[in-house]
Amino acid sequence: MIKLGIIDDNTFLLKAVKEKLSFFDDFSIKFTAVNGVDLLAKLEQSHNVDLLLMDIEMPGMNGIEATEIVKQKYPQIKVIMLTVLDNDENIFKSIKAGADGYLLKEVNPKDLRQGILDTMGGGATMTPSIALKTLRLFRNPIDFDTVPDPEAVKLTTREIEVLEQLSKGLKYNLIADNLFLSVGTVRKHIENIYTKLQVHNKLEAIQKAKNNNLI
């Protein structure tokens, strides 16, 4: 029986992970935690756990910070990052922090189970798209610790307006109506935003914009 801990601040996604694991009888969920601080407090009480499924974006202490501390204090505990974020910086920093694997939350129950078993067997499980990104990072290393050039993440006023609307969860047609633009123009602005911020999806764009105080 493999003893697991699940760390995620989103109760809906936490429940989804539990449901995926419920198909199998070789796992026991010892505890759940809502962020890194909560996790470390629970490990202080009892670190009788084999593997942690760790979200990245959490308030208080994120999953990457928590992984680094867990690996220092409890090196025997395996950690798989289980997240919706697949941007290069998170992958790189997770591996650097000591993560044993990196899976996207869209993973199906069978692959999640196999990933846990592989990790417990000494392997390093990764969603195929993450593995490709990791290989690319090793071939072309990026220094994520350098301070970004503010000019590199500068958006126009209109692009910021579009991104603010996007961050509210609005669809392209509603953004177009609100800003008196065509849907095609909104789509073009979003393409430009992704290019300037060097991101691949809405979640990454919003997070990076917030990190750079653009929205």
Model confidence pLDDT, tens digit, residues 181-206? 899 999 999 999 998 888 888 888 88
Q: Which residues pair with 83 in a beta bridge?
A: 104
Q: Which of 4-18, 45-59, 97-111, 134-148 has the lowest mean pLDDT?
A: 134-148
Cα–Cα dist 118/124, whole Å: 7
By the 8 A CB rule, do 101 and 74 touch? no
Residue 144 has pLDDT above 70, yes or no: no
Residue 155 has pLDDT above 80, yes or no: yes
- Cα(first)–Cα(last) distance of the chain, in Å? 46
- With 0-12 / 13-18 / 19 or more C-beta atoms within 10 angstroms meaning exposed / middle / buried, residue 69 is middle
The average pLDDT across 74-79 equals: 97
- pLDDT band for position 146 (50/70/90)? low
Residue 151 has pLDDT above 60, yes or no: no
Could you report the per-residue pLDDT of 88-126, keeping only the tens digit for each?
A: 788 888 988 999 999 998 899 999 999 999 999 999 899
Could you report the per-residue pLDDT of 34-76, keeping only the tens digit for each?
A: 999 999 999 999 999 999 999 999 999 999 999 999 999 999 9
pLDDT at 48: 93
Cα–Cα dist 187/147, whole Å: 29
By the 8 A CB rule, do 6 and 17 touch? yes
Using a cut of 0.85, tell me whether the model's pTM lies above it. no
